[in-house]
A = this chain, B = another copy of it.
Amino acid sequence: MFESAELGQKIDKQTFEREEPQLREALLNVQYDLSQAHRFPVVIVIGGVDGAGKGETVNTLNEWMDPRHIHTHAFPEPSDEERERPRMWRFWRALPPRGKIGILFGAWHTQPIVDRVYGRIGKAVLAQSIAEIVRFEKMLTDEGALVLKFWFHLSKDRQRKRLKALEKDPKTRWRVTATDWERYKIYDRFRKVSEQFLLQTSKAEAPWIVVEGEDPHYRMLTVGRLLLEAIRERLDQKPVARLPDRTPPMLPRIGHRDVLVNLDMSAKIPRAKYQTDLERWQGRLNLLSRHPKFNELSVIAVFEGQDAAGKGGAIRRITGALDARRYRGIPVAAPTEEERAQPYLWRFWRHVPRRGHLSIFDRSWYGRVLVERVEGFCSEYDWMRAYSEINDFEEQLITNKTVLVKFWLEITKEEQLKRFKEREKTSFKRFKITAEDWRNRKRWDAYHVAVCDMVDRTSTSIAPWTLVEANDKYHARIKILRTLCKSIEDAL
């Protein structure tokens, strides 16, 4: 696949100097339109052979474009902030928002390729990384991002010549490092691994574009024009709704059982027992959070449930047992402007805790397959793909030693009515009941179906849902505390 990038492409200086000013102007214009339209982000991924002009390309792009709307991120050795989070966290941080261009210099492709070249991972692990990356990029393009992946290539012979030339010139000598020569020695292996990687991560939505790197005029005109055309074309496209997608078949509701119906909603604990149990489990949780090994893991607790199911109260029973420096409570409401300009999961990724910390989500990323699905806030395509995106997300969390507990608090329709009425009566609780709560209540059955589907599609052995019978608050709180403690204990 590198044939076309080993031809010795050249553009003479004159041609370049004639074309450059026009191209720059056109790029500035398209950048302005992109920012005005505010419809999608542009993600530029830069990879390739050493000495093929990656750095120069990034510099020239920054020089050509309006710096207010373009940002470059490089990814050297991860910081400790980054090392304590899942591998992809640093890339999520670097994603450009809608209307902007982000240049990712050496992105998610680098590590797997290098690890494979040096034999640190086998073929199968590489294939696994590739599959993850394909899913990640699919998510990006599904979310609307324009993803342009440039691979700068040099033939072996040209790479050698170029490294030599750079070394000879005192002005550029510093740019050639021992690593460059070391990599040159394994050029053939690097080429083979890259080829496989590039082929398998080239999808119609986000193919790699291989550019011959040697001649800077050719390289810059190629990158500049492609960037221009791709952004312009996307801007000109009418924002189309996604395919009236083939509806995935769902299980017909036959029979009267489901995971919610099957709960024993009469479960309860008397007040006195609750008091002792509460003390016992809160004490246990506190001890666990101070266990020396606790600093090697993170904890995420997710709370979902009907309105008035008692999420807030249950969360307070957890936080009450913890040092405030250890946890963050994250109430999930409407996304901020900054969050709306990013892929759906971005606003949850930003709250992924460091080691030794807990994040407690009052509502969560499951909003997509619950409220957004039921209320029609997103298309069917969007909530259907969310199941696997969520599974991917949670798998990354768990791989990174996160204890993930997910609670669905279930109350009966009668119990909810009772609680709504109480809230309306009690002055300090009145703020807790809104017209929206009454409206959601009307969709009770639709939510019921959505919850069952959610459990079917996202309750896994590594990240199971705990369904909590919450008509009795005491029972619910103790079950939640107990589940949380046991999960942490299992992980320690």
Contact = CB atoms under 8 A, between A and B. Distances in A.
Interface of A: 1, 3-4, 7-11, 122-125, 127-128, 130-131, 134, 141, 146, 148, 191-192, 195-196, 199-200, 202-207, 209-211, 218, 221-222, 225-226, 229-230, 233-234, 237, 240, 242-252, 254-255, 257-259, 262, 381, 384-385, 387-388, 391, 452, 455-461, 465
23 contacts: A1-B459, A4-B258, A4-B259, A8-B257, A124-B127, A146-B246, A148-B249, A195-B460, A199-B388, A199-B457, A200-B388, A202-B457, A205-B246, A206-B248, A209-B249, A209-B251, A218-B254, A225-B252, A234-B246, A237-B244, A237-B246, A240-B243, A240-B244
Contacts of A459: 1, 3
A8 B204 CA distance: 45
A238 to B, nearest CB: 9
Nearest to A141: B246
Given A124-B127, A127-B128, A131-B127, A455 B4 contact: yes
A222 B254 CA distance: 7
Contacts of A122: 124
B255 A11 contact: yes
Given A4-B455, A131-B127, A457-B202, A249 B229 contact: yes
B385 A204 contact: yes
Given A209-B249, A210-B456, A457-B1, A11 B204 contact: no
Contact of A218 (B3, B202, B255): B255
A306 to B, nearest CB: 19
A113 to B, nearest CB: 15
6 smallest CB-CB distances across A and B, nearest first, come from: A124-B124, A127-B128, A131-B131, A7-B257, A204-B384, A9-B255
A456 B4 contact: yes
Contacts of A211: 251
A143 to B, nearest CB: 13
Contacts of A225: 252, 254
A4 B251 contact: yes
A1 B460 contact: yes
B10 A255 contact: yes
B246 A243 contact: no
Contacts of A222: 251-252, 254
A4 B203 CA distance: 35
Contacts of A242: 243
In this complex, the member of A7, A130, A255, A385 whose beta carbon has the largest number of chain B beta carbons within 10 angstroms is A255
A460 B205 CA distance: 21
Contacts of A146: 246
A249 B226 contact: yes
